Amino acid sequence: MRITTKGRYALRAITNLALSETTKPKAIKVIASEEDISPEFLEQIFFRLKKAGIISSVRGPGGGFILHKDPETVTVRAIFEAVDEGLDISPCTACSDEEVPCDRISTCLVHNVWKEASERINEYFESMTLKNVMDRAKDRNLGSLLAGEDVQV
């Protein structure tokens, strides 16, 4: 399993948005600049996060994005799922019980190893909330980097 750029950027950008000290919408250009992410790529990511109901947008002058849900209720897993980030470590753990990913599943000696590992990864990301991520950033004094005062857009 490997978290892709899309998943990593989604978590970084939404943490940035959540750590903003203002209740005003934050422009995508500002977040992109602060996080060194292409604004076009971030738009694609935010479209998916908005569709999932995690963030919302405000149009017009002074518009931008705001967190739509309480950070304590948004899990890292929900963020990853919103941007179609797979968390399975092998093809056989990505399938439903009705699907048969390979012809060896009934005799595979290590299928249960992959299944258990995948379950633990999913449990971890389900237990980790956006609030937890924010608290860790604040503990490392990284939240102060997001004031946006020095960012030129």
Q: What is the pTM of this model?
A: 0.82
Is the distance from CB of 101 to CB of 114 less than 8 angstroms? no
Give the CATH number of the domain where residue 72 resides.
1.10.10.10
Residues 6+ apart with CB under 8 A from 66: 17, 23, 24, 25, 26, 55, 56, 57, 58
- Judged against a pLDDT cut of 90, whether residue 138 lies above it is answered with no
| Residue 43 lies in domain | 5-88+129-147
pLDDT, tens digit, 9 for 90 and up, residues 102-124: 777 778 888 888 889 989 999 99
Number of structural domains in the chain: 1
Q: What is the pLDDT of residue 91?
A: 76
List Cα–Cα distances, 103 to 92, 106, 115, in angstroms. Answer: 10, 8, 16
Would you report the helix, strand and coil content of the chain in percent, each value rounded to 5? 50, 5, 40
| β-pair partners for 64 | 58
Q: What is the pLDDT of residue 150?
A: 45
Q: What is the pLDDT of residue 90?
A: 80
